[in-house]
Amino acid sequence: MNWYGLYTLFGKEVRRFSKVATQTVLAPIVTVLLYLLVFGSVLEDRIEVYAGINYISFLIPGLIMMSIIQNAFANSSSSLYQSKMTGSLVFILLPPLSSFEFYLAFTTAAILRGLVVGTGVWIATCWFAILPVYSFWIILIFAVLGSLVLGALGLVGALWADKWDHISAFQNFLILPLTFLSGVFYRIDNLPELWETISYYNPFFYMIDGFRYGFFGVSEIAISFSLFIVIIFAITVSLFSLWLLHIGYKIRY
């Protein structure tokens, strides 16, 4: 392992998003607060998802996880594609960094940004509701795994993209639909049978459900099964992104 090179690339990625924290950290927090103002004020007194848990309390963990994974994807995808577009990627490829070290630097930076945004959202939403914490470690495990998955997906999207429109398409037609149809705003057993069945094939559902379990100790799916699905998905996406990096897909000519 080239630890010095790995740390340098990781530090570069962290500095990149921290220098524009208003856009990368504050903006997602404001977006979540707007979701809470709209959905909370309209549905708070009309829906009780679990016994003793009001709708706002149910909604907040889903919004926290949604912010975590969306920002993890945005971090790795925008950084790598911007490097491709400006030509500065050559300065990352020239040092003796392996594909794994390249992957590790980008995904750990994506995880860090996801956790920073998620923590900020959690703190901001305390104004609406103080959430119980059933298991902090389960919350942390699903937050890290979710960030890892989306950080790796961000690398895949950036490697595939030839222009910014491709990054937007990847996010708008894959990441956003999977996120919004994962049970962030509702329990999937309230859906029609067809859509409920389809939701069980959405890996993002298991991220949201497992993360929410960490707060309330209740979930729609057994926590062990959710953890298994998320780990398998993380390994699969990571191996695919590592393979693309190894063969130099669209970054070595």
- The H-assigned helical ranges of the chain are 3-18, 21, 27-35, 41-43, 55-86, 90-93, 99-125, 136-160, 164-170, 176-180, 193-199, 203-216, 223-247
Number of domains in the chain: 1
Residues in contact with 11: Cβ distance below 8 Å, sequence separation at least 6, in sequence order? none
Give domain status of residue 31, yes or no: yes
Q: Give residue 213's pLDDT.
A: 95
The confidence score (pLDDT) of residue 28 equals 92
Range of the domain at 49: 3-247
The model's pLDDT over 26-50, given as tens digits with 9 standing for 90+, comes to: 999 999 988 888 877 666 666 667 7
Would 252 be classed as within a structural domain?
no
Q: What is the pLDDT along the chain (253 residues), one digit of tens a residue?
A: 889 999 999 999 999 999 999 989 999 999 998 888 887 766 666 666 777 788 888 899 999 999 999 999 999 999 999 999 888 888 888 888 999 999 999 999 999 999 999 999 999 999 888 999 999 999 999 999 999 999 999 999 999 998 888 998 988 899 988 988 888 888 888 788 888 888 899 999 999 999 999 999 998 899 999 999 999 999 999 999 999 999 999 887 6
Residue 185 lies in a domain: yes
In a domain, 11, yes or no: yes
Q: What is the pLDDT of residue 188?
A: 86
In a domain, 16, yes or no: yes
Query: Would residue 204 count as lying in a domain?
Result: yes
Please give the pLDDT value at position 253.
60
pLDDT the model gives residue 251: 87
pLDDT the model gives residue 191: 80
Question: 66 in a domain, yes or no?
Answer: yes
SS3 state of residue 19 = coil
Q: How far apart are CA 148 and CA 156, in angstroms?
A: 12
Average pLDDT, the chain: 90
Is 253 inside a domain boundary? no
* Angstrom distance (rounded) from CA 187 to CA 8: 43
The secondary structure of residue 222, as a DSSP letter, is -
What does the pLDDT read at residue 88? 87
